[in-house]
Amino acid sequence: MLKSILLSIVVVSTSCLLADTAYVGNATSNSVAILDTASNQVIGLVNDPLSTFNEPYFIVITPDGSTAYVTNINTNTISIVDLATNTVTGLVADPGNTLQNVFSMTVTPDGKKVYALNNSNNTVSIIDVATNTVTGLVNSAIHAFDNISFMAITPDGSTAYVPNPGSNTVNIIDVATNTVTGFISSPAFDGPTALVMTPDGSKIYVANYTLPGAITIIDVATNTVQGSVSDPDMTLEFTDNMVTTPDGKTLYANNNIIHNTISVVDLATNTVTNLITSPSFDIVFYMGITSDGKTIYAVNATHNIISIVDLLTNTATGLVQDQQHLLHRPFPIAFVVYAANVENLRGYQTRNIFLTQTDIVNVIQWDAPSNGAAVASYAIYRDAGLTDLAGTVPAAGMLQFLDHNRQNNISYTYYVVCVSPLGVRSQSRSVEIAAI
């Protein structure tokens, strides 16, 4: 597997009212560029007053969108970026010097831990996000890691999976105890490297790098291999990156050594149904899908360009504009999917009159988002600081909240926040309810 040190890109939606923002690590200029996906323009660089960047290689962002972690391959360090100010605030503390050639990182859905995969010594470092400190290593006494590169975590945050290309297995990790509890072995594995989990957490798709044309399917409920993706036209080759749409209907797999194409897999039938080609594709190592599921950004390792792919038509429509020439050898891409925002938020006050008492009730109603990522629940607050939680409403139920026992002659303002299945929260929207 090709593991050149190039650069890294990650996408985060800072607001459901704004387009996604991408952060692109530049290996040859030791910087991180900022990409506005609304205009498809590179708009600036992350401020690094401490000069921490040294061949940025991979980037992940916490689920709340507040912090980015950037690996520096030359110094075996991880920079911490405050995304509110786009400024590096320091390095992850690593008292045991555990970080060694970190190939990728994965954040737990609750945003409390970052797992850093150390490719050179086959260990996984555990970073505590609250303290930005490496607190230990994942215990692999049952089955050793072997040439590891990637990890996937179930949406409920309970279990992680790490392929071992060297032993043709996939390790199973208990996230609560940071312990390897077992492994999956199958004749279908041949250099399992990249993997992606479906948004509902039911299946894992594992690309076999040394067996071109093979993507193995794991059933998460049983931790067993249940088959492979059908590729009748043999489009798949040397796949080392895959992404799925937020609705879990389609998978995209890169073919980056010979053909420079992207295969389209229908997950309902587990069959390759289309092939995306473009003259702009040249070693498409990594891809990322915007939170609305409409666009892929495919980074090209050799030409300092990022191709834009329209997923409605599965065609490459153009390139990201880099007028200031801030991109330098793009490499991985990862997305944080944010929930969209509520629509048609409204409210009114009513009264339930009993024999001796009157219950003043504030009624808040809204419509589900018409675009963006899936919403699992809605949180309703009584204050702009989002500290006074009035209650939560599941997305599957009636989109209405009743706040009982309110005071007479008082107007109230409520703030509604969407929460995704991974616990990612949107910005709030407010509604004022006047007293009657």
Task: Tell me the per-residue pLDDT of 146-169, one tens digit each, with 9 for 90 and over.
Answer: 999 999 999 889 999 999 999 999
- Cα separation, 99 vs 43, whole angstroms: 31
What pLDDT is recorded for position 332?
65
Average pLDDT, integer, range 208-221? 88
Strand partners, 45: 33
**Longest CA pairwise span in the chain (Å):** 80
What percent of the chain has pLDDT above 90? 58
Q: Residue 261: CB partners within 8 Å, gap ≥ 6? A: 235, 254, 255, 275, 276, 277, 281
Q: Residue 279: CB partners within 8 Å, gap ≥ 6? A: none
Give me the domains of the chain, ranges plus CATH numbers. 8-336 (2.130.10.10), 343-433 (2.60.40.10)
pLDDT at 228 over 90: yes
pLDDT at 211 over 90: no
Question: Which residue, among 18, 117, 16, 131, has the nearest Cα to 67 in the 3D structure?
Answer: 131
Residues in the chain: 436
Do 128 and 83 touch, CB atoms closer than 8 A? no
pLDDT tier at 276, thresholds 50, 70, 90: very high
Average pLDDT, integer, range 43-66? 90
- Cα separation, 238 vs 210, whole angstroms: 7
Average pLDDT, integer, range 281-304? 84
What pLDDT is recorded for position 320?
93
- The two beta strands, 295-300 and 284-289, are antiparallel
What pLDDT is recorded for position 278?
94
- Cα separation, 304 vs 280, whole angstroms: 11
pLDDT tier at 11, thresholds 50, 70, 90: very low
What pLDDT is recorded for position 373?
57
Strand partners, 80: 69, 90
pLDDT in tens, 375-419: 788 999 999 888 899 999 998 889 999 999 898 888 999 999 888
Q: Residue 222: CB partners within 8 Å, gap ≥ 6? A: none
Residue 189 corresponds to which tokens in the numbers above? 């594995």
Alpha-helical (H) ranges within 108-236 are none
- Cα separation, 240 vs 103, whole angstroms: 13
- The two beta strands, 261-266 and 284-289, are unpaired
Residue 162 corresponds to which tokens in the numbers above? 């790490």
pLDDT at 194 over 70: yes
What pLDDT is recorded for position 12?
44
